[in-house]
Structure 1
Amino acid sequence: MGEKRRIAAIWLPNWPIERFYRDIKRTNASFVVTEKPRALVRAGAGGMRLTACDVRALDAGAEPGQLVPDAMALCPELELHASDREADRKALERLSVWCGRYTPWVAADPAGLGEEPDGLLLDITGCAHLFGGEAKLLSLLCGRLEGFGLTARCAIASTPGAAWACARYGCEAPCIVPPGKEAEALRSLPVAALRLGGEEIDGLVRLGLKRVGDLYGKPRAPLVARFGANIARRLDEALGFEPEPISPNLPHIPYRTSLAFTEGLTRQAHIEEAIKRLAADLCEVLEQERKGARRIELQLFRVDGEVTRLFAGTSFATHEASHLAGLFHEKLGFLGDDFDPGFGIEAITLACLAVDPLSLEQGSFDKTGEQRFGLEQFVDRVSNRFGADRVLRLEPRASHIPERGGAAVSALRGISPAMRGWKTYMGEHRAAVLGGSLPRPLRLLPVAEPVDVVAEVPEGPPRIFHWRKIAHRVLRAEGPERVSPEWWRGGNQRTRDYYRVEDAEGRRFWLYRDGLYHRDNDGPRWFLHGVFE
């Protein structure tokens, strides 16, 4: 059996106003902290209403939900600022990314039905022992959040519902509910702790069911008939009788390793040395699993709560630590002065977002394997420095039309089903080269260019053609290679007859006749499509 599930809930009761203070102090150096009470406002029913207040405003009588004129009457010196939901959401996302240093399973925690998130849920199953236990982990979380200027109430329980309720309505904070003790911990809490709607709470209170414990042992049928199934479902979720998944918007991370530091790292050389150690640990696990990394994410957790995220990819599956660490050396070097460690990097995480299986290969006695491996590493370095869309390779497509037979894709892109026949095609192509007959040129013109051709017979090979105002006399010609149109595409498509020709100067060209004499009314036309190297 696996370890008992444990959930940590973080509630930020003053999140909007404290987020506003924190962000504006960081971005606006001219912002002056004064003794004036402050509040955030947003358009609502009846006019502008307060959405968040600081402690001074609350002491003066202002409270969230009030109309601005009513609040100003109670507190004339109230300083108002516009509320920004999008900024609140993005700031909470940044905070959830920072919490990834404690557990990779973090999700926004909504305040209630239809309300905006004002907290976080962390699945800390199997993670608490890395920080000295649940009590130590909770103390670290609360201490760091307070250091960021945020008021936080935290709780740990075996269900998200119980942790949510204890964080918001528990008498003791931080609170740790032992496994199996959720019913006792919730017994004395108000029914609002079950994450119910306002009408449901009012209805239960009118019936005298004011505490969660008042619902224990009550018949379900009358409650469901009167209020619906939500009350019973929320109670079962909080007590662990019904599962409640946490679904963060994060990619699956099959392999992950991290390092934490007692003092923040500020020098890039020290950060790169830590990345090398992480890469070595990660590649040791990958080698044991016979896996190779394809996409890697580096997270640098700053002391001030900001997180720098860097991504790197490889064109082939690899578990070579020096190569993976070198990719992020390129990334950090490319950032230059834009890389800001702030007051220091307190933790670093290296994760594989995508891996491919590695097959055992026999090493060669010559240096061909080393050359191939060196070329692939070069492609990785260049792609990660200048961008994955700047370094391209050809990938075949299921078409005999030359311009449709291949497509340029990122060199870091994985092998697609279209590549299955690539080795067979390249083997035939290489055999043709060694045999002295190159079927098609390696280089095609961006667009086939029209040429004027003189042939001995109408459907014979060209003898003289004019291209870009220069006449070429053909000494040798091979062909035709007929390519029929793709009838399923529709449009004005015609049959092509390709010829490989060599002129008197020894230059070789690839021409085709577009159309047939006995089928197309306007007659065929000639085009130059490529040149042989």
Structure 2
Amino acid sequence: MAAAQAMAMVPGLRLVPAEPEADAAGLVRLGIWCLRYAPLVALDPPDGILIDVAGAAHLQGGEANLLADLAARLERTGMSACLALADTPGAAWAVARFGPGGIVPPGGTSVALLDLPVAALRLPPEIVAALAEVGILRIGGLMAAPRAPLRRRFGPEPLLRLDRATGAEPEPLAILAAPEAPRAALRFPDPVGSPEVLGRVVGDLCTRIVPDLERMGLGARRLDLVFRRIDRLDQAIRIGTARPSRDAAHLARLLTERLPQIDPGFGIEEMTLTASRVEALAERQLSGAVLGGEPEAVDLAALVDTLRLRLGAERIYRLAPVESDWPERAVRRVPALAAPLGALWPADLPRPARLLAAPEPVAAMAEIPDAPPLFFVWRGARHKITRADGPERILGEWWIADGEAERMRDYYRVETEAGERFWLFRDGPMEANGRWWLHGLGEA
């Protein structure tokens, strides 16, 4: 349509000159930025990006957290995006552009594709139109049709696209490489595939990349190891470290733990190790214990890295104090090796050994205002109180929200006749019918 005709049809239409070269360069920059999520990123011009998150999603706390973080970061930069995650690149592309987006459950690819139009298979418009002439409008219809007549009439492309979307055929991707990142690669004269050989190659690659890190004064915080099979299909594993490291043996151990995730197929012809995230790492002086000085503190980085790899990054953390009177706000999770934040818990405020995730309601009775209860019933069990201390009154933090000004709690440390200790509170004065809650167990 001519611009003059479009402006006549839509008054006030805004025209922006097309810049295909700038758009392509911008897509490349966005693809390189997406390497923060996984080592295998491919462009899907003119406006798409494919990210293979297999082996890397655990570093973001799982696939759902990865998608949520990606969507939030794109939104903060003013970009709108439809995100989908599936077993294959073709299925993810289809669900993102023609479906509702989100995560397709493992093994649910065929069901997710059934009702999508055949254009979701990235077929040329002429093939889509030809399929429509014979009544095949949805991918489900293409799945149900006999394959031999389809191939004779429409050629191999519709069935190839369908097989790639459902995972029956692999789909090679043109992978982006992180620019100016320390990298080491090995290409083999004959394909390799045994775990023992791959483990030795991993150690060799780590040994080769360490001198580059030393020369730059850097340590690796994230390593990507890409395996190229002889069928041109790329696979990758990613590991992260709690602190910058250039200990080749330690890095090799972390990568070797992930080798079972790799399917070598008929053989791997090339392996590339990239330090995709690095930080400055100054040289450290050796311990002065030999000279009679104080020994250095134990470095827990290797232990934390191993636990993160085996249990998941989200499960390895430590608790740090937060300056808040409300118990559930007085602590937060921080990385296991994070530097001290400077805040400390008051030493004169006794707290229970275990704080419940959320206060649980209990039935309790007190004789007079501000007195501890005589007994309470929690989870169907009656507990008679023999000793108590309190109340410790905590008021709402009015600077957080307007409703906080009216909140209050009276906490009591109590001991039952069975010797058990609990932390109870009442969320209002007795005359105002304040309710009783259990918030902690034991005594620190």
TM range (shorter): 0.5 to 0.7
User: Matches of 1:329 and 1:312 in 2, distance apart?
Assistant: 10
Secondary structure of 1:96's match? coil
Partner of 1:314: 241
Distance 1:288 1:41, change over 3 A: closer
Partner of 1:384: 309
Partner of 2:273: 350
Partner of 1:32: none
**Partner deviation per Cα, 1:178-230 (whole Å, 9 max, x = no partner):** xxxxxxxxxxxxxxxxxxxxxxxxxxxxxxxxxxxxxxxxxxxxxxxxxxxxx
2:257 corresponds to which of 327, 330, 339: 330
Query: Shift in Å at residue 276 of structure 1?
Result: 1.0
Query: Is 2:412 the counterpart of 1:510?
Result: no
User: Matches of 2:209 and 2:236 in 1, distance apart?
Assistant: 18
Query: Shift in Å at residue 258 of structure 1?
Result: 1.9
2:392 corresponds to which of 465, 480, 488: 480
1:330/1:381 contact within 8 Å kept: no
1:455/1:461 contact within 8 Å kept: yes
Within 5 Å, give how 1:287-298 maps onto structure 2.
287-298=214-225
**Partner deviation per Cα, 1:309-347 (whole Å, 9 max, x = no partner):** 1111223332222221111211114x3xxx322333222
1:445/1:529 contact within 8 Å kept: yes
Partner of 1:467: 378
Partner of 2:360: 449
1:259/1:348 contact within 8 Å kept: yes
Give the TM-score taking structure 2 as reference length. Answer: 0.53
1:297/1:311 contact within 8 Å kept: yes
User: Matches of 2:307 and 2:220 in 1, distance apart?
Assistant: 17
- The amino acid across from 1:471 in the alignment is H
- The amino acid across from 1:293 in the alignment is A
- The amino acid across from 2:437 in the alignment is F
Partner of 2:66: none
**Partner deviation per Cα, 1:33-75 (whole Å, 9 max, x = no partner):** xxxxxxx9744499539xxxxxxxxxxxxxxxxxxxxxxxxxx
Distance 1:439 1:94, change over 3 A: farther
- The amino acid across from 1:494 in the alignment is R
Query: Is 2:351 the counterpart of 1:440?
Result: yes
1:513/1:526 contact within 8 Å kept: yes
Secondary structure of 2:425's match? strand
1:302/1:347 contact within 8 Å kept: yes
Query: Shift in Å at residue 508 of structure 1?
Result: 3.1
Distance 1:505 1:266, change over 3 A: same
1:253/1:352 contact within 8 Å kept: no
- The amino acid across from 1:500 in the alignment is R
1:497 corresponds to which of 396, 410, 415: 410
Give the TM-score taking structure 1 as reference length. Answer: 0.46
Query: Is 2:126 the counterpart of 1:48?
Result: no
Within 5 Å, give how 1:20-419 maps onto structure 2.
42-44=124-126, 47-48=129-130, 80-83=155-158, 94-97=172-175, 104=177, 254-333=181-260, 335=261, 339-358=262-281, 363=287, 369-370=297-298, 373=300, 376-391=301-316, 393-394=318-319, 399-407=324-332, 415=338
Identity %: 32
User: Matches of 1:325 and 1:282 in 2, distance apart?
Assistant: 11
User: Matches of 1:460 and 1:360 in 2, distance apart?
Assistant: 61
Partner of 1:524: 434
User: Matches of 1:41 and 1:499 in 2, distance apart?
Assistant: 69
User: Matches of 2:179 and 2:423 in 1, distance apart?
Assistant: 49
Secondary structure of 1:509's match? strand
Query: Is 2:342 the counterpart of 1:424?
Result: yes
Query: Shift in Å at residue 295 of structure 1?
Result: 1.8
The alignment's C-alpha RMSD in Å is 4.2
Distance 1:79 1:292, change over 3 A: same
Distance 1:465 1:311, change over 3 A: same
Q: Answer with 1 or 2: which has the greater Rg.
A: 1
